[in-house]
């Protein structure tokens, strides 16, 4: 994961753009809310499997993604997701993911952007329940900005318009429970995704 080469990432992003552009038209809003040289956590709405490559195309900085470990079982998808910065997480057996969690913590310490899908899996056109585990771990170690991200797909002829809205950074009140922090973030994500 740490040995991800810039040329591999650029190649994957270029290939993703070529493969996805016939089907998706990407629009972005709120780019000014992304920190330039410091660590942050993106908390996007998870609508479809293509959210990961589309988020990669929408952001100028390289990102690292917490993704369910099932996506890494196929050798091709394993290579593709890891090339985009995927970090596998076994949600049912988190102790098996210690190496991945350690890698995520190191990326944050190095000032990287990390993507955590708070729903854990995708829910089309509706909000799913939030999984507080990873967010609680990050809150217990770091005081960094959390950025809610709305993702909205709408059909426009052959192509779908994908609107990615980056919300304003939120800093957690460390005296409050992680679950109440995440509840507020989920409301922002729903609003940014046009789901409320």
* DSSP type of residue 129: P
Reply yes or no on whether the pLDDT at 2 is more than 50.
Answer: no
Q: Which residues contact 35 (CB under 8 A, 6 or more apart)?
A: 113, 145, 169
Decide if 166 is inside a domain.
yes
Domain that holds residue 22: 6-192
Q: What is the pLDDT of residues 27-46, one digit of tens each?
A: 999 999 999 989 999 999 99
Decide if 144 is inside a domain.
yes
Contact 66, 104 (CB under 8 A): yes
Tokens of 132: 């507080």
Q: Which residues contact 159 (CB under 8 A, 6 or more apart)?
A: 22, 23, 24, 25
What DSSP string describes 53-86?
Answer: HHHHHH-SS-EEEEEEGGGGSSHHHHHHHHHTTE
Q: What is the pLDDT of residues 63-96, one digit of tens each?
A: 998 888 888 888 888 888 888 788 888 877 766 7
Decide if 130 is inside a domain.
yes
Decide if 25 is inside a domain.
yes
Decide if 1 is inside a domain.
no
For the residues 141-155, what does the mean pLDDT come to?
A: 93
Reply yes or no on whether the pLDDT at 4 is more than 60.
Answer: no
Reply yes or no on whether the pLDDT at 1 is more than 50.
Answer: no
Rounded to the nearest integer, the mean pLDDT of the chain is 88
The number of distinct structural domains making up the chain is 1
Reply yes or no on whether the pLDDT at 164 is more than 60.
Answer: yes
**Which domain CATH number covers 155?**
3.40.1130.10
| CA-wise closest residue to 162 among 77, 69, 47 | 47
Q: What is the pTM of this model?
A: 0.88
Q: Which residues contact 148 (CB under 8 A, 6 or more apart)?
A: 43, 44, 167, 170, 185, 188, 189, 192
């Amino acid at each position: 994961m740490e040995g991800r080469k810039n040329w591999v990432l650029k190649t994957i992003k270029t290939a993703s753009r070529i493969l996805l552009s016939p089907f998706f038209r990407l629009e972005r809003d709120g780019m000014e809310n992304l920190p330039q040289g410091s660590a942050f956590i993106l908390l996007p709405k998870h609508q479809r499997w293509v959210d990961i490559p589309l988020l990669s195309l929408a952001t100028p900085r390289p990102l690292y993604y917490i993704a369910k470990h099932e996506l890494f079982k196929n050798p091709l998808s394993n290579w593709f997701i890891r090339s985009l910065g995927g970090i596998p997480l076994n949600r049912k057996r988190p102790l098996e993911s210690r190496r991945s969690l350690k890698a995520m913590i190191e990326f944050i310490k190095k000032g990287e952007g990390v993507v955590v899908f708070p729903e854990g899996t995708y829910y089309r056109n509706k909000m799913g329940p939030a999984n507080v585990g990873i967010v609680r771990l990050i809150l217990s170690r770091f005081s960094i900005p959390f950025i809610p991200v709305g993702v909205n797909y709408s059909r426009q002829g052959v192509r779908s318009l994908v609107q990615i809205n980056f919300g304003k950074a939120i800093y957690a009140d460390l005296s409050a429970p992680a679950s109440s922090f995440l509840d507020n973030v989920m409301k922002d994500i729903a609003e940014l995704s046009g789901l409320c």
